[in-house]
Amino acid sequence: MKITAVEFFPYELKLKTPYTIAYETIEKTINVFLKIETNTGVVGYGCAAPDLEVTGETSATVQKCFADVVAPNLKGKDPLRLSFIMENLKDKLIQHPSVLAAVDMALYDILGKQSNLPIWKMLGGYREKIKTSVTIGILPVKDTFKSAQQYVSQGFQCLKVKGGIDVDNDIERLQNIRQKLGKRIELRFDANQGYSAEQAIYFVEKTKSVNIELIEQPTPKGQPDLLKKVTNAVSIPVMADESLMDLRDAFRLARKGLVDMVNVKLMKVGGINESLHINSVARSANLEVMVGCMDESALAIAAGLHFALGRPNVQYADLDGHLDLLNDPAKDQLIIKNGWMLPPKKPGIGIDVDFD
């Protein structure tokens, strides 16, 4: 089997409802889709979701990488030699993790289709479904509850609330949700680097009665000592997100005991293959893993889902980045029942992409 063609297609994806996090408001996003064709007719699809703040990439840089680096380095190669191809691309694309993620995704898609197996079974097939949280941006107290109520009415059982701008307002928002929705709903909180260590500790103390499941990236990513200070001081798990960009970050976080958990996003780390290595480091240090996402097409979300279902240490999922996209060429193909995500039934990633 040989790769005969590499194409890419940028799509501006609008959000039905814009949302705010600690450092920006998001109204739309651009995903760049990758199509890899082979001489046997098997086609693999991938997706890059660049984010200048998180991955350091833009749509323009991603497209340039696909044209100048990916296409010439993939044509004529055997797509089933996934590790060989990805290792050869790493040094060339070290600052472009979502490009690597898209290539990795497309190669896994081909491998699964050629093997007639879904990726989650190829990765070990540990579980058949996983519960996902759904995210609520920074809103006034009443609007936060209204949004929470809407998601719960749709069957979601776990809510992730964004904050990090006003700690007292964040506390009130979480208390209000718990008071009105009761104990049956799981609550997670993400400060997106917005707190000082003291604010994070204060937040956890004041929300003890809320029974928050975890707090994600409370302090700035460039100050690891603050993260450790929070981890050592609070009673709930602390999760690293922006502080984890690659395998070396995972090793540092684990070796220094900076956190209890890590959020692995395919777009940050460079795809499924690299996520597997990071997951192994985390497991060796007794750190649980959550698979997260950016604002991504259902195609990319499905790839993250396969990773989560395949490995036992991936205990949590936050795979809602596709739900609010209005014009996703891979929409309406992921199954979510009462907040639980089920894998596509087709081999490979199992998602068809409509570029018309």
CA 320: distance to chain centroid?
A: 9
Number of H helices, E strands in the chain: 13, 14
**What is the C-alpha to C-alpha distance for residues 221 and 208, in angstroms, rounded to an integer?**
25
Residue in 57, 170, 190, 260 annotated catalytic: 190
Residue in 109, 241, 249, 260 annotated catalytic: 241
Residue in 37, 186, 216, 242 annotated catalytic: 216
Token reading at 176? 């209000």
Please say if 190 is a catalytic residue. Answer: yes
Please say if 143 is a catalytic residue. Answer: no
Q: Strand locations in the chain, DSSP E? A: 3-20, 25-38, 43-48, 130-131, 134-136, 158-162, 186-190, 215-216, 238-240, 261-265, 288-292, 314-317, 335-337, 340-342
State the SS3 of 84-118. Answer: HHHHHHHHHHCCCHHHHHHHHHHHHHHHHHHHCCE
**Secondary structure (3-state) at 347:** coil
Other CB atoms within a 10 A radius of the CB of residue 236 amount to 17
Which residue, 312, 306, 290, is CA-closest to 342? 306
One-letter amino acid at 93 equals L
Residue in 265, 295, 320, 324 annotated catalytic: 265
**195-209 burial string, b = 16+ CB within 10 Å, else e?**
bbbebbbebbebbee
Residue in 113, 162, 221, 229 annotated catalytic: 162
Please say if 324 is a catalytic residue. Answer: no
Sheet containing 43-48: give its strands across. 3-20, 25-38, 43-48
Ordered DSSP codes for 13-43: EEEEEEEE-SS-EEEEEEEEEEEEEETTS-E
Please say if 186 is a catalytic residue. Answer: no
Please say if 216 is a catalytic residue. Answer: yes
Please list the active-site residues: 162, 190, 216, 241, 265
